[in-house]
Structure 1
Amino acid sequence: MADFDAQPGRATQTDLSAAQRQADEIDLHAGLDGVAGLVAGARSIGDLLGDVAAFAAHAIPGVDGVSIALRRTHHEPSEVQICSATADFVTEIDRVQYDELHEGPCVTCMLTGRVSVSGSLGSDERWPHFGGRVARMAVHSALSLPLIVDDQVIGAINAYAHARDAFGDHAVQLGTQFAKPAAVAVYNAYLLAGARERTERLQRALSSRAVIDQAIGIIRSRSGATAEEAFDRLKRLSQADNVKLAVVAEQLVDEAVRRARARKTP
């Protein structure tokens, strides 16, 4: 199997029965089927990450809680853009790791692009501050799997367990198998969400521009000003009221419509 970053002296759990291995394989394929069936659609990226985290918790044996973290592009590895967790204690672990200590298995995983695994966080010298802090929360095992697309680490899957040595080589192998298609699904959803956001911003900008043009036309018809003079007057109104230009324009247009309707009323 692939090389990974493991805590020295970690147990590998090589004594799994054939029945247990078969059951774990079934759970893995169920998780993979779930990821394959995800469609971003109109859902937020946060909701989709929540589903991927839930599927990961099903696919990786020994898990008590999972989070999915997306890394800010071209930023420090501890700078996470968005994170979704399956349990409150994992949310707290993520807060400690990313916002407070800036060290831990996920930070290392996203920095190196390698799987990070620990079976006794309290004695893991790689993360002396994080390990002791999380061990006091009765969480002793961690498994972080990089989400890699085109050789770029876009984030990580982070699995945690209360038991010691919860993630042996078998769990690492299944987690690695899950992480590859999960990375593609997450990345595609992220791109789609970004494209949808840009489209919505453009639509809002076009709508605002149309309202501003209407307001300029109203000012010109009332005052005989040029387009530039009308726009300058609109800007002064915006600055005087400390209100966005599009809002001032919309108010002016609405007022003009109300006056027009009032004149038509017998």
Structure 2
Amino acid sequence: MSGFDKTPRGPRAVRRETSDAEDAADLQSNLSDLAGLVVGTLGLEDLLARVATFASRAIPGADGAGVTLLDVSQDSHRVEALAASHPFVSQLDEIQYVTLQEGPCITAARERRTVRSGSLGGERRWPRFGPRVGRLGIHSALSLPLILPGQLVGALNVYARGKDVFDDRAVELGELFASPAAVAVHNAQILTQALALTTQLQAALSSRPVIDQAIGLIRGRSGGTAEEAMDRLRAISQAEHTKVVDVARHLLDEAVGRARARHNRG
């Protein structure tokens, strides 16, 4: 007997193999695009939007996708940032996270597992979210947690207008996409936090000379210590609900104004 299987393959089997090959090629192409994202050249929201767009292309049947940075506990969730590939996804995520605070993405993040629904209109797991988005013409959802070892980064939400769109193959490809997506999103998040800290430090460094000059001015008037002068600045800041550096700048401006007035009179 020959070692080759000579059983004829029907058109459906050939189409299935062709479809699988196309899906794999789409996934690889969008993973390459994902790997090509240079963290730092894009803002966090722009990067999340790119990731969402790549996901909508990589997962078969998707009509749109959203990426959310989500801090989830057993009792609550907090959205740090979100972006979408299409405007209707932003509308659905607004309903899920803000209006109703229930839905597949929250469940996926909280339970740290892939969540799928093919008939949102009749979905009992989310009795408010499901029927509402079903009435908007969205019937399928695939939600995947973005997880690093020991850490939840957020979640990826993929939507389709048809029913039962996301089969096991879509789940497999979605999970293959979610792992590197979690790394890209986390790196962007860390860089954004680092840039924010750098901005704060630069602001602090630039404001320090102004505060020191104001302390010297107060000490020249009162004869007190530097600590007492700083306490005076803080007291004014709290009373006027103004930053200490702004209080210091105002005191210096007043002092310069008075000095110029005296000079002009003289």
TM category, shorter: 0.7 to 0.9
Question: Match of 1:129?
Answer: 128
Residues 172 and 241 of structure 1, relative CA distance in 2, 3 Å threshold: closer
Find the aligned partners of 1:52 and 1:104 in 2 and give their Cα distance. Answer: 21
Find the aligned partners of 2:189 and 2:239 in 1 and give their Cα distance. Answer: 40
- 1:111 correspondence with 2:103: no
Question: Match of 2:8?
Answer: none
Find the aligned partners of 2:13 and 2:178 in 1 and give their Cα distance. Answer: 22
Q: Deviations over 1:130-171 (max 9, x none)?
A: 211111000011000111100432211100011112111111
Larger Rg: 2
Find the aligned partners of 1:15 and 1:104 in 2 and give their Cα distance. Answer: 37
Find the aligned partners of 1:168 and 1:102 in 2 and give their Cα distance. Answer: 26
Native 8 Å contact 1:78 1:103 kept in 2: no
TM-score using structure 1 length:
0.83
RMSD: 2.8
Native 8 Å contact 2:72 2:110 kept in 1: no
Question: Match of 1:3?
Answer: none
Question: Match of 1:100?
Answer: 99
Native 8 Å contact 1:77 1:111 kept in 2: no
Question: Match of 1:6?
Answer: none
Question: Match of 2:4?
Answer: none
Find the aligned partners of 2:102 and 2:140 in 1 and give their Cα distance. Answer: 15
- 1:142 correspondence with 2:150: no
Offset, 1:240: 5.5
Greater relative contact order: 1 or 2 (C-alpha under 8 angstroms, separation 6 or more)? 1
Native 8 Å contact 1:71 1:77 kept in 2: no
Native 8 Å contact 1:77 1:110 kept in 2: no
Find the aligned partners of 2:169 and 2:14 in 1 and give their Cα distance. Answer: 10
Match of 2:146, SS state, is: strand
Question: Match of 1:230?
Answer: 229
Structure 1 stretch displaced more, 212-221 or 45-54: 212-221
Match of 1:18, SS state, is: helix
Native 8 Å contact 2:96 2:129 kept in 1: yes
Q: How many residues align?
A: 252
Native 8 Å contact 1:73 1:154 kept in 2: no
Residues 153 and 15 of structure 1, relative CA distance in 2, 3 Å threshold: farther
Offset, 1:235: 4.0
Find the aligned partners of 1:228 and 1:218 in 2 and give their Cα distance. Answer: 13
Structure 1 stretch displaced more, 232-241 or 48-57: 232-241
Unaligned stretches of 5+ residues in structure 1? 1-12
Match of 2:67, SS state, is: strand
Find the aligned partners of 1:77 and 1:220 in 2 and give their Cα distance. Answer: 50
Match of 1:72, SS state, is: strand
TM-score using structure 2 length:
0.83
Native 8 Å contact 1:72 1:79 kept in 2: yes
Unaligned stretches of 5+ residues in structure 2? 1-11
